[in-house]
Amino acid sequence: MANRPNILALASKISLESMTYTGITYKDPEYRILEPIVDDDMCSVMMRMRLEKEFSAAELAKKCKKSVEFVQEQCDKLVNAGVIRVRYRGELPCYYYPIWVPGIMEGILSNRAQCDKYPDLGACFEEYTRIRVGMLAPVLGNGVNFMRVMPVMSAVESNTRTASYDELATIIEKAKAISVGPCSCRRSRRLIGEGCGHLEEDMCMYLDDNAINFSKHGEHRLISKEEAYEVLKRAEDNGLVHEVNQALGFDGINAICNCCGCSCYALRIAELFRSPDGVSSNFIAKVDKDKCVACGQCVENCQTNAVKLGQKLCTTDPHVSDAYQSDKEVPWDKRSYNVDYRTTRTDVMESGTAPCKAQCPAHVPVQGYIKLAAQGRYTEALELIKKENPFPAVCGRICNKACEDACTRGDIDSPIAIDDIKKFIAEKDLESKHRFVPKMVNQIGKPYEEKIAVIGAGPAGLSCAYYLAVKGYPVTVYEKEKALGGMLTMGIPSFRLEKDVINAEIKVLKDLGVKFKTGVEVGKDITLDKLREQGFKAFYLAVGASKGAKVGCPGDELPGVMTGIDFLREVNLGEKPAIGKNVAVIGGGNVAIDVARAAVRLGAKTTIVYRRDRDAMPAADDEVEDAIAEGVKFMFLASPVEITGEGKAETLKVEVMELKSGKPVGTGKFETLPVSAVISAIGQKIDLSGMDFATGAKGTVNVSLPSYQTSVADVFAGGDVVTGPKFAIDAIAAGKEGAVSIHRYVHPGQSQVIGRDRRDYKAMNTATAGISVAGFDTAPRQKAADGSAKEAKKTFKDLRGTLTEEQMKIETSRCLGCGAAVVDESLCVGCGICTTKCKFDAIHLEKVTDYVGAPYFKALLGAAGNAPAAVAKLVTKKIARK
């Protein structure tokens, strides 16, 4: 970059007139953003212009002592570059330049071609708003700022104190022209490789002359007022905050932006500089704790991280508080900056929140859907569940129920039957003529073009496909088996999860447009390179852990010895494995229980052989109890030593074990069992045939966190292939994270870390909750009517019942409602997005100030005694926050 004194002079002139001059050098963003796009002729004309003062080409020609044609040519180039703007006197175009921000820099960033040619333009915009706006932030207050948040209209329309200057409708209705185009902040972030996943396209609107100007000379397109309201609604659906450019005061507003806290340079006044008054509306969010159910929708959509989940039960611990400590009295300087605000977002107060949501791997909003079910709002309850778990009908039957294990009610009597409530809600949907299919939600309002391939149709792959489809991506799922569902279909017997339930859940994905190709093994039948040639831009690897582990003793190659995975696959495909009448199942997990119960249904006397004791069994207690009721026998503290027989398995020799420090140790004593089959359920392995990825010691695929990106850049992975065998809900949670990462990957310039919700939930300490039974329903835990064990062991049908509606109502009334949202008023900017996400009318906006919005110039001059020189000093001083 050349050192051009005339461009330096121009940058200094603009800064002096904007009252942000602190000495411009060739290294400063003001110079660097002009140098590559303003030539000497353009500069000569612009030096004769004035900030916010319009001149026609003829008037400028006189000032420049140049021909009108020459000046018009330079003005056209400056307008195309976004450096100057046009206003009209009747039909006569007149030219002016605004302040740097909001103004010149946004205009320059509105020209994609020059941004892609000179990516440093993005860095200049970021640096200026961080350095210069940081200087101004102390003197910016409510109503005295460059940009100002405008509340969501639905959040303030019924407030009797709402004024016309609080309403976006006032601005839109008086606009003579409106255009929509890219967000300059998000474009800037993309150019420097710090995108947050919120994309730049079609999110910000210009008004009046600016709309006409940028529709003719930029990427904007003119839209109707009806379309403008649709843009606002789409922004709200995506959790984006409405802001207006009010450097010229309320009557001079010429732009409406839809902003995210992780990229917007105005919102970081609140987040980085900790000065929310410099951008906030006249409102602030308030939570009604009696109504709040800690669903977390307001938290996850708050762009300034002002809302977090806390708890609302009384506590006996004096050190635990949900109150925010205000930093209003802290001297306002760099010590109060939150420089890492884009990567340190937190969802939960230090005191913790409802254990059910915190302990669920997918962080499903349990308390929320229980309340909706209690109110009979079943479709809304299902919708809330599916924001985190697309398969409630499946999980309502097979989940390991970490939420119930953590339930606070369990400290009083019995935990809430959360899984049964979820199953009831899902059954309502399965029985409905019109199943719930979520609408597509993305920023562009139409499907994306980037094709995504998912490898494996198990819970992780299906979850990833679901969330990508909801986002608007064309997704194709490749499955090597003929049936979909992965281990849900092949590894779980029908008496726990019937296949029509899995297929019904998958039907919703098909309704979303997801395509499925079965009987195709990626790596064998088709390669990743071939899929890339077909236009796929990213891949999600979710092949699971579909190979069983052998017993690992002499004789495990004999006929009649098989893995539990192979046995269950045959059973689930409708075959009848030849296992005879005496079956030994090796293992103590849920797979071992499923194998044993399936063997019983095939007519075998079945014994589970486990090398530890009953207390150490990882299998779920209720599954073990069902197995015992169906006649399964258990041989604890026994480890297989040898399998013998004449051409087939006939005898299993085991060593008697004892526990020392919790570990099984051989005693040297042995026993033998007559067997007709031995089924190993001691572990699962991963099959990556035909694919080459960096793996760990146990064969799992290595990934980078939090993105789950593999050693191959365009391949992301999740579920058992990464973690080893875990539960379906863990895989489902991983699938959603995979969708987040893939969305960011296929759009260049997006970071996998910045602005990402890490979803690090912390459960409250129920031991200090000070729970009182008084005021809560004392009804016992409700139980669905199940078929008897005698009937169950004769069939592969699932005979477990569903709660009646009356039982469901009783059960939901047992919920203690542990969690609630908490608002940090020192960070809240009063946007009202939280109110659009709450289904319980638990959060609303309250008017706390009544500023119309003064022009920035007038306000800043007033603060400095109307002396531009004093302004230069003022903006460099450290000023204590009021």
> What confidence score (pLDDT) does residue 787 get?
84
Rg (CA), the chain: 32
pLDDT-based confidence at residue 219 (cuts at 50, 70, 90)? confident
pLDDT at 336 over 80: no
User: Strand, helix or coil at 142?
Assistant: coil
CA distance 872 to 882: 21
Two tokens at 875? 């903006």
All domains in the chain, ordered by first residue: 5-118 (1.10.10.10), 355-435+762-817 (1.10.1060), 451-546+689-745 (3.50.50.60), 547-685 (3.50.50.60)
What percent of the chain stands above pLDDT 70?
Answer: 92
pTM of the predicted structure, to 2 decimals: 0.92
Give the C-alpha distances (Å, rounded to integers) separating 128 from 47, 73, 109, 425: 21, 29, 13, 52
Q: Which residues of 822-853 are buried (b: 16+ CB within 10 A; e: fewer)?
A: bbbebbbbbbbbbbbbbbbebbbbebbeebeb
> What confidence score (pLDDT) does residue 143 get?
56
What number of other Cβ atoms are within 10 A of residue 520's Cβ?
16
Predicted confidence (pLDDT) per residue in 497-516, tens digit? 999 999 999 999 999 999 99
The continuous run of DSSP H or E covering 136 comes out as helix 120-136
Predicted confidence (pLDDT) per residue in 585-611, tens digit? 999 999 999 999 999 999 999 999 999
> What confidence score (pLDDT) does residue 27 get?
95
Contacts of 842 (CB under 8 A, 6+ apart): 287, 288, 289, 291, 292, 293, 821
CA distance 417 to 443: 38
Give the C-alpha distances (Å, rounded to integers) separating 636 from 616, 654, 679: 10, 11, 16
Q: Which residue matches tokens 């006569």?
A: 92
Residue of 436, 438, 461, 573 lying closest to 517 (CA atoms): 461
The continuous run of DSSP H or E covering 469 comes out as helix 459-471
Where in 384-499 does DSSP place strands (E)? 451-455, 475-479
pLDDT at 334 over 80: no
Contacts of 251 (CB under 8 A, 6+ apart): none
CA distance 133 to 692: 49
Tally the C-alpha atoms within 13 A of residue 470's C-alpha that lie toward its C-beta: 21
CA distance 802 to 419: 10
User: Strand, helix or coil at 365?
Assistant: coil
pLDDT at 879 over 50: no
Where in 124-220 does DSSP place strands (E)? 147-149, 178-181, 204-207
Contacts of 69 (CB under 8 A, 6+ apart): none
Residue of 121, 9, 102 lying closest to 52 (CA atoms): 102
> What confidence score (pLDDT) does residue 871 get?
46
Predicted confidence (pLDDT) per residue in 690-728, tens digit? 888 999 988 999 999 999 999 999 999 999 999 999 999
pLDDT at 570 over 80: yes
Mean pLDDT for the stretch of residues 157-177:
88
> What confidence score (pLDDT) does residue 329 get?
46
Helices assigned H by DSSP within 180-329:
184-191, 208-217, 225-237, 268-271, 297-301
Predicted confidence (pLDDT) per residue in 767-825, tens digit? 776 666 566 668 899 999 888 888 888 899 999 999 999 999 999 999 999 999 999 98
Predicted confidence (pLDDT) per residue in 108-164, tens digit? 999 999 999 999 999 999 999 988 877 776 666 665 667 889 999 999 888 878 888
> What confidence score (pLDDT) does residue 131 get?
86
CA distance 389 to 392: 6
DSSP assignment string, 39-57: -HHHHHHHTT-BBTB-EEH
Mean pLDDT for the stretch of residues 189-194:
96
Helices assigned H by DSSP within 516-609:
528-533, 564-572, 590-601
Packed helices 805-812 and 366-374: angle between N→C axes, nearest 10 degrees: 130
**Is the four-CA dihedral 656, 659, 662, 663 of positive or negative sign?**
negative
> What confidence score (pLDDT) does residue 139 get?
63
Strands 178-181 and 221-223: antiparallel
Q: Which residue matches tokens 């992975």?
A: 717
What percent of the chain stands above pLDDT 90?
Answer: 75
> What confidence score (pLDDT) does residue 870 get?
47
pLDDT at 315 over 60: no
DSSP letter at 161 equals: T
Residues 844/162, Cβ–Cβ less than 8 Å: no
Contacts of 620 (CB under 8 A, 6+ apart): 400, 401, 590, 593
> What confidence score (pLDDT) does residue 227 get?
96
Give the C-alpha distances (Å, rounded to integers) separating 34 from 81, 101, 842: 10, 14, 49
Residues 205/244, Cβ–Cβ less than 8 Å: no
> What confidence score (pLDDT) does residue 246 get?
81
**Is the four-CA dihedral 603, 609, 615, 618 of positive or negative sign?**
negative
Predicted confidence (pLDDT) per residue in 667-694, tens digit? 999 999 999 999 999 989 998 988 889 9
> What confidence score (pLDDT) does residue 772 get?
61
pLDDT at 857 over 70: no
Mean pLDDT for the stretch of residues 421-440:
95
Pick the more confident residue, 163 or 352: 352
The mean predicted confidence, pLDDT, of the chain is 90
Q: Which residue matches tokens 């592969």?
A: 796
Predicted confidence (pLDDT) per residue in 524-553, tens digit? 999 999 999 999 999 999 999 989 999 999
